[in-house]
Amino acid sequence: MSQSPSPRELANAVRFLAMDAVQQANSGHPGAPMGMADFAQVVWCDFMKHNPTNPAWWDRDRLVLSGGHASMLLYAMLHLSGYDLSLDDIKNFRQLHSRTPGHPEYGLTPGVETTTGPLGQGICNAVGFALAEKILAATYNRPGHPVVDHNTYCFLGDGDLMEGISHEACSLAGTLKLGKLIALWDDNRISIEGNVDEWFADDTAKRFEAYGWHVVACVDGHDAEAVRQAVAAAKAETERPSIICCRTEIGHGAPTVCGSERCHGSPLGAEEIEKARENLGWPHEPFHVPDALYAGWDLREKGAQTEASWDQAWAAYAKEFPELAEEFARRMRGELPANWEEESGKFIAGVRDAAEDKATRKASQAALNGYGPLLPELLGGSADLAGSNGTLWSGSKHITPNDAAGNNMRYGVREFAMGAIMNALTLHGGFIPFGGTFLVFSDYMRNAMRLAALMELRTIYVLTHDSIGVGEDGPTHQPVEHVSSLRIMPNMDVWRPCDTVETAVAWKCAIESEKTPSSLVLSRQGLPFMQRNAEQVENIVKGGYILRDAEDGNPEAIIIATGSEVSLAMSAADALARKGRSVRVVSMPCADRFDQQDDAYKLQVLPAEVEARVAVEAGSTGLWFKYVGGKGTVIGMDRYGESAPGKTLFEFFGFTVDNVVEAVESVLGE
C-alpha cells in the first residue's frame, strides 16, 4: 500500500467491511456496496461538507442512500470517516438492537439522514432536502451572508427509478430548479430477478433531460477521476438538479459472482470472499482495516474546520441580522415561538365564542388563518386540491422556481411524492409541513405516512372529504376503510373533529406533536357547532371526552361518535331523553390520544359498569368494538358507498336518529 492511499484502496476498505459484515450476519446485500464504493468514496471524502463529530450541524451537506438495502455502504463510510459508529457496531450488522440495522434508520445511527427501505422514497427525500435548502436560503440569506448553502446528494439505483414515486418527485425537482441536488445513479443493470434489460429499457438520460435536469451521462463509476470531474460539473450547474449516470459492476471485485444477481441479496460465501481478497489485493483478516486507510478516511479534522468556518460566518450574520438569526435558529431547533401557548389558547377561545356552523375542512382553513401568522415554519401544500382541502390561508405565498421565499407548495397531482417530500422537510429542520388531499387518496402516500410514523416526524396530513358525505362522486371517492386503516398505524394520531373547536384543538395538537405525525380527517359538508364548557374544551386534547352527560352523571347507555356523526349522536340522545332514558355522548375525535390516557380517565369517560354502548361512525366498524364491548354495537360502513347526494346516503345507510335510538334501546334490552 502506498503512503497515501489511492481512491481504489480507500474504496476497497468499504468493499471488504461490507462483505465481512454481510457474511458474519449471514444476511444482507453485499453487491451494491461493492459496486458503488468507488464513486461513493469520491463524493463522501472529496466533495461533501460534513463533520463526523457533529452530525447535526445545520449547514452540512445531506446524503441519502435511496437504495437502503445497500446500507453497509453508508455504515462503512460513517465508521471509517470518524462518526460515532464503532467496528463492533459494524460487526453487529443486522442483529437485534444493532446500530447498523438492515436498512438505514433515522435516529438510530449517527449520520443517517432518513430511513430508506422502500425503493423510491429516498430519491424523493433528497428532493425534499434540496427543496428545504432552497426555501431557507431564499428566506434567510442576505448579500454577503450565505448561511444556508449546502448540497444534497443521493445514491440511487435501477429499482428507485422503476418505482413511480421517483417520476413524481424528479419531475417536480426539475420544475423547481433545485440546482443543489446531485443524484448519482448506480447503473449496474441488475435487480433481484437478473439483468433488467427485458423489463427496464428506459433511456434514463433522456428521461431526466425531459424533466429539466442536468445530465452527466456514461461515467465510469469505478474511475475516481471520471467521477470527480462529473461531480464538479454537477456542482457548477446551479440552475438545474443533476444526475450522474455511473456505469458500475455489481459485486465489483468478486470474480465469480460480480455482474450478476447472485451477489445482490445474499452473502458471498467464505470461498468467494477469499477470491475477492486475492483479486483486489486485500491480504487482511475479516474486519481489519490498516491504519493508513483509517487515516486516509478520517474526516474529523477537516469537518471541524469546515464547521468552524461556518460558525464565524454565522456569528457575523447574527450580529448584522439578529432577528432573522434568532428566528432561523429557533426553527432549526424545532422550538415553537415563545408566545405560541398564549396566542393559540386565545384563538381556540375565540373559536368557541364564535360558535359557527362550518364544514371541518373550512374550520381547518380558519385554524390556519389563526395559527399561520404565529408560525413561519408552517409550510403548506396540496396535491392539486388546495381549494377543496382548504390548505391555502390568508398569508400563503406560493413557492416558485424563481422565488422560493414562500410557504406554500403546489405539488401537482403527486400525493406519493408530497408525502415523502414532507418527511424530508421535517428531517432537514426548520419546517412543520402539512399537505392536503382527499382522504381516499391517502392510499397513494400511505408508505410515506408510515415512514413518518416510523421516524417519529412532525408531519401533518390534511385529509378532506372524509366519508359517504362526499356524495355524488360515488364509491371511488367515498373513503370507508381509510380512517380505520390509518388508526391501526403505530404512532399516527388520527383526528376526526366534529366542529370548529375540535378542529382548532386538533391543529394545535398536531403542531405541538414533536414525534408523532397527525392525520386531520375533515368533512366536506357543513357541521353544526357543539356547545361546551371550559373543561370540555380542555379535555379535547385527550382524544375522547364527555360532550353530553346524563343529568345525574350516571348514564344507563353511552353513544360514542366522531366527526359528522357527533351531531347525530347528540340528536339521538335528545330523543332518548324524551323517552326517559339517561344517555351520555362521548365525542372521540382522536382514539389514538384517548388510548394513551391513564385508566382513571378512560374509566371516567367510559365506566365499565355501563355496558350498553353504541358507536357511530360513517366508516369501518372493526376497531370500535374495543370501546363498545361484547354487549355493545356499532353503526358504521362495512361496504362501499353509492353515488347520490350525501344526505340521501346517510339516510340510506342508517345514519339516522331513529336508527341510533333503536340501537341504544336494543343494547338496553328493549
At residue 115, does pLDDT exceed 60?
yes
pLDDT of residue 3: 75
Q: Give binding residues as ranges.
A: 29, 69, 117-119, 158-159, 188, 190, 264, 361, 388, 441, 465, 473, 477, 524
Q: Give binding residues for Mg(2+) as ranges.
A: 158, 188, 190
Nearest residue to 459 (alpha-carbon basis) of 513, 504, 392, 539: 513
pLDDT of residue 670: 77
Helix or strand or coil: residue 602?
helix
Instruction: Kindly give, in sequence order, each residue whose CB lies less than 8 Å from that of residue 229, ignoring residues fewer than 6 positions away.
Output: none
At residue 315, does pLDDT exceed 70?
yes
In the beta sheet, which residues pair with residue 244? 184, 216
Is 352:323 a contact under the CB 8 Å cutoff? Answer: no
Amino acid of residue 301: E
Q: How many helices (H) and strands (E) does the chain have?
A: 27, 18
In the beta sheet, which residues pair with residue 145? 142
Give the residue carrying C-alpha cell 353511552.
558
Consecutive H or E run containing 410: strand 408-410
Helix or strand or coil: residue 634?
strand
Helix or strand or coil: residue 73?
helix
| Cβ neighbour number for residue 96 with a 10 Å cutoff | 6
Nearest residue to 418 (alpha-carbon basis) of 404, 433, 439, 398: 433
Is 244:234 a contact under the CB 8 Å cutoff? Answer: yes
State the sign of the Cα–Cα–Cα–Cα dihedral 492, 497, 501, 507: positive
Burial of 221 (0-12, 13-18, 19+ CB in 10 A): buried
pLDDT of residue 576: 97
CA 483 to chain centre: 18
Amino acid of residue 245: C
Is 63:260 a contact under the CB 8 Å cutoff? Answer: no
Mean pLDDT value of segment 165-172: 98
**Confidence tier at 669 by pLDDT (50, 70, 90):** very high
Q: What are phi and psi of 655, to 5 degrees?
A: -90, 70
Q: CA angle at residue 27 from 24 to 29, to 5 degrees?
A: 110
Catalytic residue among 163, 168, 415, 502: 415
pLDDT tens digits for 277-313? Answer: 999 999 999 999 999 999 999 999 999 999 999 999 9
Which region holds residue 144: left if phi is over 0, alpha if psi is between -120 and 50, else beta? left
**Confidence tier at 602 by pLDDT (50, 70, 90):** very high
For 588-618, b/e burial (b = at least 16 CB within 10 A) is bbbbbbbeebeeebbeebbeeebbbbbbbbb
Mean pLDDT value of segment 341-359: 98
pLDDT tens digits for 213-240? Answer: 999 999 999 999 999 999 999 999 999 9
**Confidence tier at 2 by pLDDT (50, 70, 90):** low
Is 444:436 a contact under the CB 8 Å cutoff? Answer: no
Mean pLDDT value of segment 129-138: 98
Say if strands 633-635 and 194-195 run parallel, antiparallel, or are unpaired.
Answer: unpaired
Nearest residue to 330 (alpha-carbon basis) of 453, 419, 432, 422: 432
Mean pLDDT value of segment 16-31: 98
Could you tell me the three cell numbers for 83? 462518526
Give the residue carrying C-alpha cell 429542520.
429
In the beta sheet, which residues pair with residue 437? 463
CA atoms within 13 A of residue 34's CA, in its CB half-sphere: 30
Summary mean pLDDT of the chain: 97
Amino acid of residue 183: A
Domains and CATH numbers, the chain: 7-304 (3.40.50.970), 339-522 (3.40.50.970), 541-668 (3.40.50.920)
Percent of the chain with pLDDT over 90: 99
Q: Give binding residues for substrate as ranges.
A: 29, 264, 361, 388, 465, 473, 477, 524
Mean pLDDT value of segment 132-160: 98
Is 11:42 a contact under the CB 8 Å cutoff? Answer: no
State the sign of the Cα–Cα–Cα–Cα dihedral 279, 285, 288, 292: negative
Helix or strand or coil: residue 554?
coil
Instruction: Kindly give, in sequence order, each residue whose CB lies less than 8 Å from that of residue 411, ignoring residues fewer than 6 positions away.
Output: 172, 381, 382, 383, 384, 417, 418, 421, 435
Mean pLDDT value of segment 254-263: 97
Mean pLDDT value of segment 69-78: 98
| Cβ neighbour number for residue 499 with a 10 Å cutoff | 29
Instruction: Kindly give, in sequence order, each residue whose CB lies less than 8 Å from that of residue 195, ignoring residues fewer than 6 positions away.
Output: 189, 261
CA atoms within 13 A of residue 391's CA, in its CB half-sphere: 29
Is 22:100 a contact under the CB 8 Å cutoff? Answer: no
Say if strands 545-548 and 518-521 run parallel, antiparallel, or are unpaired.
Answer: unpaired
Helix or strand or coil: residue 142?
strand
Torsion angle of alpha carbons 297, 300, 306, 309, nearest 10°?
-160
Q: Give binding residues for thiamine diphosphate as ranges.
A: 69, 117-119, 159, 188, 264, 441
Please give the span between the terminal C-alpha atoms of the chain, in angstroms, as a whole number: 89
Mean pLDDT value of segment 558-562: 98
**Residue 415 known to be catalytic:** yes
Burial of 108 (0-12, 13-18, 19+ CB in 10 A): middle
What angle in degrees, to the nearest 10, is found between the helix axes of 7-25 and 270-280? 170
